[in-house]
Amino acid sequence: MIRVVLAVLLTVALLAAVTPAIDEGRERRTAIHLDRAVDRIDRAARSLRAHEDPTAPSVAGARRLVSVRLPERSWTAMSARLWIDGEHDRIGYRLDGRRTRRMRLRGIDLRTPDGRIVVDGGSRRRLELSLVRDDGVGVVVGGGGGGGGGGGG
């Protein structure tokens, strides 16, 4: 009986010791995943600016497609939310209760005509970026299906 109690106490102590490391690993892994998604959006926008001519909003022009998938909450990933806010020219994300991270893509005028685009954890979104000339030159980001509405921070 004493051995069983000692085994249980040792197991609980080990779990208490490794849980912070597991949480830190989940947070770091998810943040890296989201940073890569932001980087892909940034590269697509910069590619449009560098290699394409802007068109009027009603004219179909060159575009870039970026698929964004946020992991589901699991032992290896935290729940997260990513958003693109054309009104403030920002892309941001928040990990499960942690501080919000916001980034401005330097030299890029982001536009989201249908409002803020939000991708929640466990969902996939295909973003379409196009370069338009309307009150200056801007990168319009549209989100085809999936994901949720407002919120985000």
Tell me if 151 is assigned to some domain.
no
Tell me if 43 is assigned to some domain.
yes
Tell me if 81 is assigned to some domain.
yes
Tell me if 150 is assigned to some domain.
no
Residue 44: alpha-carbon gap to chain centroid: 15
Tell me if 91 is assigned to some domain.
yes
Range of the domain at 43: 2-144
Residues 80 and 70 sit within 8 Å (Cβ to Cβ)? yes
Tens of pLDDT along 108-131? 999 999 889 999 888 888 999 999
Tell me if 129 is assigned to some domain.
yes
Cα distance between residue 133 and residue 115, in whole Å: 19
pLDDT at 47 over 80: yes
In total, how many domains does the chain have?
A: 1
Give strand ranges (E) for 2-152: 63-69, 80-85, 90-95, 100-104, 110-111, 117-120, 124-133, 137-144
Q: Parallel, antiparallel, or unpaired for β 110-111 and 137-144?
A: parallel
Give the 3-state secondary structure percentages of the chain, helix then strand then coil, rounded to 5: 35, 35, 35
Query: pTM for the full model?
Result: 0.79
pLDDT at 6 over 70: yes
pLDDT at 41 over 90: yes
Tell me if 7 is assigned to some domain.
yes
Tell me if 125 is assigned to some domain.
yes
